[in-house]
Structure 1
Amino acid sequence: MIILDENTKCVVQGITGKQGSFHTQSMLDYGTNIVAGTSPGKGGQDFQGVPVYNSIEEIREEMEVNASIIFIPAAFAKDAAFEALSQLETVVVITEHIPIHDTLEIVAYARKNNKILIGPNTPGIITPGVGKLGIMPGHIFNPGDVGIVSRSGTLTYEVASQITQAGMGQSTCLGIGGDPVVGLDYSDVLQRFQDDPGTRAMVMIGEIGGNAEEKAADFIARNIDKPVVAYIAGVTAPPGKRMGHAGAIIEGESGTALSKKTALENAGVEVADRPSQISEIIKKLL
């Protein structure tokens, strides 16, 4: 497992909002160690037994916390992210539609201060059997030794479900986020899986647009010796049209599914043509 383990003590920022309360309940039901929440002006209340504070600073005066998950509307997400990153080690930003100049500032601050930033516009992270900081459906995951890193939440669920149904399981699954600029990238997560003794193989799920997958291919060729299986979504996507995620747009010759698939195959990665092939390829490689 990586990042999210038994020692993770999490704060939910925006715990009393519609999204925050719904997903906090789901995370609690999964067994996640959520110790507090924030909702400015509602300090002193509680949600399902989780105490609510006005700020992270107030929480830290009373208890130890080291991670945050953010369900704050896009207009206020930058302030929430800076509040968390200035005081905690790990921050997961679920919020989508954050202005890109805000995201650039958030990501730059996280990297400068060596903090773990997942997202924005991410389904989050799950370590099966331990906890989840995110919005993924917990029942499809199973503890195991396959690490998954993805730009797509829905494809993460699809691939994880098929790995589970094939009698295997996942060490940790992490969505890096679908925006053009994100915190942790593929290489950051792949290196953590490489260093994790509980991960024997990795699945990398990519999509058209940008050059993140090509950069990951170069990183894999130089740094990763565990088996990596990949899938690239968007084979039939027309150039110049955004497909779902803000980052999923082909411009010029780069960013196509073919260019990404070629780069990965040249790095020794087996690339599946369909998500349904991934679990069989993993079985063959292990």
Structure 2
Amino acid sequence: MSILINKDTKVITQGITGKTGQFHTRGCRDYANGKAAFVAGVNPKKAGEDFEGIPIFANVSEAAKATGATVSVIYVPPAGAAAAILEAVEADLDLAICITEGIPVRDMAVVRDKMRAKEAAGGKKTLLLGPNCPGLITPEEIKIGIMPGHIHRKGRIGIVSRSGTLTYEAVAQVTELGLGQSSAVGIGGDPINGLKHIDVLQLFNDDPDTDAVIMIGEIGGPDEANAARWAKDNFKKPIVGFIAGVTAPPGKRMGHAGALISGGDDTAQAKLEIMEACGIRTTKNPSELGKLLKSVL
């Protein structure tokens, strides 16, 4: 059992013929069940061709109909990435994973509004992971995205993070402890994105094969505080947490576009305090996440 994806998931790569799309599709295909999982690519100019045996289609709808794929991963450059997300949504996929960094916030606002309008009209809800995220992995079954597969081990710890590199840090520590991961999900650091901490926590809460969760956040925005308050009343398993950006000055945008402190609950200290008050054990040192996790199991 896992969340969102498993060994039977079939995946479309949008932007499969670009350098990034080629490189990471190869890496994902070589991991675990990847050969069976990556079944189609999309590039309107190269429809009918193939990438190392993976057929290329003109659009996501055609690729999904021909292959039965329900998930897409997007490596399309920033200028076209929002349109690529909407193409996946219009094709009624279950999940679109957008790796692309640097999509204009205005473009993502349009995507969000169109996704909401489709749902309000009774259309199928497509989940969005990202943009500006490393993707997700169910170890030893399937990885979709840019994370290093070799540090992951099958296990029972769920990981959800806004930061890509800190996802890998937590994964490596959990693997070193001999615990392993049920699924690891990078939600991305942009101000307008799809799945939030709270959505992923809900999935881990319902997953019988996840025993505990590491939640990694950043300064900026209310997401971690909202997730902590939800978890206090609803989450049945131990959570340990870390917030990046304790030393960040207010009003300065840091790295990720969403990491901007405007005041109040979105500083690292405020988030840590809210998480602790909601029963989540936290650390200010990311290298201690594994040890902290072990202490709550």
TM-score after normalising by structure 1: 0.97
4+ residue runs over 4 A deviation: none
Stretch deviating more after TM superposition (193-202 or 89-98)? 89-98
In structure 2, list runs of 5 or more residues that go unmatched.
none
Q: Secondary structure, in 3 states, of the residue corresponding to 2:183?
A: strand
How far 1:183 moved relative to its partner? 0.5
Residue 81 of structure 1 corresponds to: 85
For residues 108 and 160 of structure 1, what CA distance do their matches in structure 2 show?
34
For residues 114 and 233 of structure 2, what CA distance do their matches in structure 1 show?
27
Query: CA RMSD, aligned part only?
Result: 1.2
The count of corresponding residues between Structure 1 and Structure 2 is: 286
- Is the Cα–Cα contact under 8 Å of residues 110 and 116 in structure 1 kept in the other structure? no
Taking the TM superposition and a 5 Å limit, the aligned residue runs for 1:140-151 are 140-151=151-162
How far 1:272 moved relative to its partner? 1.4
Residue 234 of structure 2 corresponds to: 223
How far 1:240 moved relative to its partner? 1.4
Q: Secondary structure, in 3 states, of the residue corresponding to 2:46?
A: coil
Q: Secondary structure, in 3 states, of the residue corresponding to 1:254?
A: helix
Match among 248, 253, 265 for residue 242 of structure 1 = 253
Stretch deviating more after TM superposition (93-102 or 111-120)? 111-120
- Is the Cα–Cα contact under 8 Å of residues 11 and 65 in structure 1 kept in the other structure? yes
Deviation by residue 1:238-286 (Cα, 9 ceiling, x = unmatched): 1111111001111133311110000000100000121121111222222
How far 1:60 moved relative to its partner? 3.4
1:35 aligns with 2:46: no
How far 1:40 moved relative to its partner? 1.4
Q: Secondary structure, in 3 states, of the residue corresponding to 1:250?
A: coil
Q: Could you tell me which amino acid in structure 1 is paired with residue 96 of structure 2? A: V
For residues 125 and 274 of structure 2, what CA distance do their matches in structure 1 show?
29
Deviation by residue 1:178-222 (Cα, 9 ceiling, x = unmatched): 001110111100000000001000010011111111111111112
- Is the Cα–Cα contact under 8 Å of residues 28 and 143 in structure 2 kept in the other structure? yes
Residue 3 of structure 1 corresponds to: 4
Residue 105 of structure 2 corresponds to: 100
Residue 44 of structure 1 corresponds to: 48
How far 1:61 moved relative to its partner? 4.0
For residues 152 and 102 of structure 1, what CA distance do their matches in structure 2 show?
22
1:214 aligns with 2:228: no
For residues 71 and 163 of structure 2, what CA distance do their matches in structure 1 show?
23
Stretch deviating more after TM superposition (10-19 or 105-114)? 105-114
How far 1:160 moved relative to its partner? 0.5
Q: 1:214 to 1:170 in 2, by over 3 A?
A: same
Residue 135 of structure 1 corresponds to: 146
For residues 155 and 112 of structure 2, what CA distance do their matches in structure 1 show?
31
Residue 201 of structure 2 corresponds to: 190
Residue 91 of structure 1 corresponds to: 96
For residues 175 and 24 of structure 1, what CA distance do their matches in structure 2 show?
18
Deviation by residue 1:105-134 (Cα, 9 ceiling, x = unmatched): 323444524221101111111110111111
In structure 1, list runs of 5 or more residues that go unmatched.
none
Q: Secondary structure, in 3 states, of the residue corresponding to 1:182?
A: coil
Match among 44, 68, 72 for residue 68 of structure 1 = 72
Q: Could you tell me which amino acid in structure 2 is paired with residue 5 of structure 1? A: N
